[in-house]
Structure 1
Amino acid sequence: MNSPAAAAPAAVLDRDSQVTGSVQEVDTDALVRQTLPLVGHIVRDMATRVPGHVAREDLMSAGMMALAQAAAAYDPARGVKFSSYAATRIRGAIVDELRSLDWASRSVRRRARQVDEARNTLAVTLGRVATDAEVAAALGMGTSELAAHQDDLSRASVMSLDGFEDGTAEDLLPSAGPTPLDVLEDRERLAYLHDAVDQLPERLQVVVRGYFFAERPMAEIAAELGVTDSRISQLRAEAVQLLRGALTANLDTELHQEPAKAGCAARRKEAYYASVAGHRSFASRLTQTASEVVATA
């Protein structure tokens, strides 16, 4: 496994040129002392990719033990720099230590990667989050088998108790229900989406309300508007892009970027975003409940 952080500091690498002669002439204590910073370097690199409950001291201990073993087994006559040889041994020892600390077996972790890949692939294909039944079908398993795997993975998740100071572990667990802030943000986002649909051009409104809200077939909407199915698909994509842009412009202002060129299309988009923003006041959006938004959509 190679990474930009895997290379040791230049000072450590240069020390290898000082080690010459046969294996009998190698001063293992000197090698360990000179290359000791390499252990901390590798631990820092790998610690950024491991769960927070893993103690860095455990990884340091495994790395230093591997360094000592590498110094004892090093043969400079092979023409390999000691830092390169030791880095491989240290990294391997740390990986072994992580595996020993992992409550999940390799098969569970491997299946977790397969499930994640299947979910991501289906999300791209379907344009939405895949259900458990769809994921199970894509993996050629039953939903009960997928649920059993998720239970295995949940049992393998641990939390460090060292971080508990005041209070109890339960205080740090996520709430089972949405917080008041979550409810407020969802209500505001739904209201903005409702306004964004209202401000779409008429043909785009027909497509959005028919396809997404009424779940009408694309051919039926095409017949109503007197266009082809492919044109409906284009209108749907255009509407989704406008809706997404309106929500970003009004709710995620840091992500919204002004158009590089002030062309007609860019000006129409900005005018649409402004009409969504000015459609209602902030207070009126928040007073509209989620059920009202859905009912009037």
Structure 2
Amino acid sequence: MSAPVTTLDETAAQLVRDHLAVVGYQVSEVLPRVPSSVTRDDLSSAGFLALVLAARSYDASTGVPFARYAALRVRGAILDELRSMDWASRGARARAREMGSTVDRLTVSLGRTPTREEVAAAMGADAATVDQARADLERRVLSLDVPGSPVAEVLPDAAPTPEEVALTRERLVWMRAAVDELPERLQVVVEGLFFDDRAPADLAEELGVTPSRISQLRTEALALLRDGINTGLDPDLVPEPTRPDGVAERRRQRYFAAVADRAVRAGTVRAPA
């Protein structure tokens, strides 16, 4: 499928032609996490239109590279397209959220993934209700707004383009740098849960904390990782600090600088603008 460029001036049209791979990359990243009823063409159409609109409105004087600007616009359009397909009723969404919260709570308390019977008992429901809630949860496309585990940031395309390969390599370099620069306790939690597949209860015993504290450290670490990676790749996604001069924010800024320095020293990425 080709992008419609006939209504653009030549500069904008060239931007579209040069960055068609951005659409393919974003679609390939999202497609494995949506229901099979969603086709590549559905998402590509929304992405190509967003690319055209991005080229038309791009202002080079901002200093933001067009590839980065277009990626944000394309991904936003794909998510909007998925939201428009979201069929789930309010009740189904509520059940899905309840089941997700119950599974998370039981995983922390049991130190393992709970069975469907254990989830049903905790919810005060039968197994059939749990099965339906699980199906609803899997089909909820709005969950794409929640950042995924950075460990899963790989392209599923069997034949990626050179630009897609470069973008993926850069993302992985920043992810590894962000993990390596985490404070020691947060790094233990992230590597234990996501790299070594350890149970939360094991990490709690090692660190001398409760399983619920492991859950809190996990949340804290993933938020810091996300912002550390986005500082280099998508700065517009990093939230403005509530207390710019506070001690916590100064620590965050030191972490961001350390992540950037490590990523650049890895020799495969450029310094962030």
Which structure is larger by alpha-carbon Rg, 1 or 2?
Answer: 1
Greater RCO, 1 or 2 (C-alpha within 8 Å, sep 6+) = 2
Shared fold (TM-score greater than 0.5)?
A: no
Q: TM-score range by the shorter chain?
A: 0.3 to 0.5
TM-score between the two structures when normalised by the length of structure 1: 0.39
